[in-house]
Amino acid sequence: MTPLPELTARSDALLENARFTTLATQGPGGPWASTVNYVPLREPLRLLWYSLRRAQHSRNIEDDPQVSGSIYLTGLPGLGLDGAQFTATARAVEPDELDGLSDWYYERNFPDEQVRREWRLPLDEFRGEGHRRFYLLEIRQWWLLDIDQWLVDKNDQRIAVPLDALSGPRKSADDSTAGAR
């Protein structure tokens, strides 16, 4: 069995480097999958992204906040890939959270200040009748691809990783955004 520190390191590598998740939602028209560009937050483990309010997954989250998703990376040493699956609860970011969380999103996604200024959207687009919203999903369950077992029998299986192993602060987090983490 894979030791917990290795599962934690693999999970952290996925969370910090993949940057995109395929998000599965359920709505009146049935299931829907969307790819969104996220940044991770810890304590508790969450993913933050923004989308248009009229996007299908955004409307689905309003109707049913229970979501699932997957994150993966390719081109890695060894097997060449790694991946995770999760279940979560998603919601739109509240107005009083918007300033701190939007700062965190743009700083993490665009570390270069010049690039960040080019990509940053006006916060009015995320408030009131604005056509965008930031969303947070709080991870409830997390699994990794069982690479060791796959190498033995080529069966796709997963390994549960305890959330408390993934929720602590990371060295890469900027202390000036402590409220956002």
- Domain boundaries, given as residue ranges, for the chain: 4-153
Q: How far is CA 19 from CA 27, 44, 71, 94, in A?
A: 25, 18, 8, 23
Q: Is the pLDDT of residue 58 over 50?
A: yes
- Per-residue confidence (pLDDT) for residue 177, from 0 to 100: 39
* Residue 179 in this model has a pLDDT that exceeds 80: no
Residue 65 preceded by cis peptide, ω within 30: no
137-158 mean pLDDT:
88
In this structure, are strands 39-41 and 132-145 parallel, antiparallel, or unpaired?
Answer: unpaired
Q: Does domain 4-153 have CATH number 3.40.50.11810?
A: no
What's the whole-number mean pLDDT along residues 155-179? 67
**Structure-model confidence comparison of residues 173 and 30, the more confident one:** 30
For residue 56, the tally of other CB atoms under 10 A from its CB is 15
- Determine the Cα–Cα distance for residues 71 and 65; give it in Å rounded to an integer: 19
Percent of the chain with pLDDT over 70: 92
Identity of the amino acid at 99: D
Do the Cβ atoms of 99 and 43 come closer than 8 Å?
no
